[in-house]
Amino acid sequence: MTYELDRDTAVTSLGDGRYAAELAPGWVVGGGVNGGYVLATLANAVAAELGALVPEKQHVDPFSVTSHFVTPASPGPAVVTCELVRSGGRFSTVRATLSQEVDGALVPRIATHSTFGNLDTAHDERSDAEAASLGLALEPPVLPAPEDCLDSQDAPEDFKKIAPLLDRFGTRFDPPTAAWRDGNPSRRGLIQGWFKLADDRPLDPIALLVVVDALPPVTFDLGMPGWAPTLELTAHVRARPAPGWAIVRHQTRTVAGGLFEEDCDVWDAGGRLVAQSRQLALQPR
C-alpha cells in the first residue's frame, strides 16, 4: 500500500540537482497549497540529492529547514532545484528552491536552506547522558483522550470544499482551544490537539515538516478567521518520532505591526519533543 503523503510528495530526478514534483490538489487549503506539504516535497528532493552526492554519510534526516514563502503554490507540476552549500562529517547544508511555471516563466514558491544529518548517529553518548541528567525537556500539554476531543474533519461541508486538506489529517482538537469553531475564540492564541495522518501513515522526520504546519492558523483562536500568509517558517526536527498519536501545539505570544509569530511544538506518542517550528506570518486582513 502507498500512503497519500508518500505518493503526493514523490520527486523524480531530472539531473543537475533538479527534481520534478507534482503538487496534489488534495493538499489545498483556501487559495493555496499547504506550506508544510510543499516543504515535505522539497525535503524529499534534498534527501535524494544528498543520497546522490554523499551517500556514504547517510545524511537522511532534516535537522533544520528554513523556508521563505515568496509566492503561494498551486496544485500541479513543480521543480525543486538543489545546490549543496557544504557537507561536513555530521551535517550537510543544501540550498533548495521549489518553483512552478507561470506563463512560461519559472516562479519561486519557497526558497530554503536545509541542514540534514542523521538523527540516529549525530549525537554522542556523553552529551546524551549529560542531557538526561539535566532533565530539561519541554513537557507536552495534558489533553483529554482523542475520543473526547473534536475531530477536525467535522467541519461544515462548504468549508471542506475549499479545504480538501482536512481529509488528509486526523487532527483532534483540545475542546477549549477550538471554541472558535462555535464563534467563541478563547483569545489566548493557542490551538492544540492530537495529530495523525488520516491514512495512519506513521510519522517520520520528513512528515514532521507537515505536522508543524497542520493546524489552522492560531489567529483563528484570536477571532481573526481568514488566511494568514506565512512569510517564513523554520522547522527543527529534534528526534525520530515513535509510532502513534502525536501532540501538536500552536501558540502566539505577540501580534503587532501586522505580523505574528506562530510557535509549534510536536511531541510523539511517548511524550518526547520531536519537532519545533516558528513561523512569521501576516495577520489576516
Judged by the rule CB under 8 A, the positions of this chain that interact with a copy of itself are 63-64, 66-68, 70-71, 85-86, 88, 91, 93, 95, 97, 108, 111-113, 115, 119, 122-124, 126-128, 130-131, 134, 136-138, 187, 189, 222, 224, 231-232, 234, 236, 238-239, 252-261, 272-273, 276, 278, 280, 283, 285
3-state SS class at 276: strand
At closest approach, how far in Å is the CB of 153 from a copy of itself?
Answer: 29
220: Cα separation from own chain's centroid? 18
Instruction: Give whichever of 162 and 259 is closer to a copy of itself, judged by the CB atom.
Output: 259
Instruction: Give whichever of 165 and 191 is closer to a copy of itself, judged by the CB atom.
Output: 191
DSSP secondary structure, 157-175, as one string: HHHHHH-GGGGGB--EE-G
At closest approach, how far in Å is the CB of 191 from a copy of itself?
Answer: 14
Residue indicated by cell numbers 471542506: 160
Cell numbers found for residue 106: 519559472
At closest approach, how far in Å is the CB of 148 from a copy of itself?
Answer: 27
Cell numbers found for residue 281: 506570518
Instruction: Give whichever of 8 and 61 is closer to a copy of itself, judged by the CB atom.
Output: 61
Instruction: Give whichever of 177 and 283 is closer to a copy of itself, judged by the CB atom.
Output: 283
Counting Cβ atoms within 10 Å, is residue 285 exposed (0-12), middle (13-18) or buried (19+)?
Answer: exposed
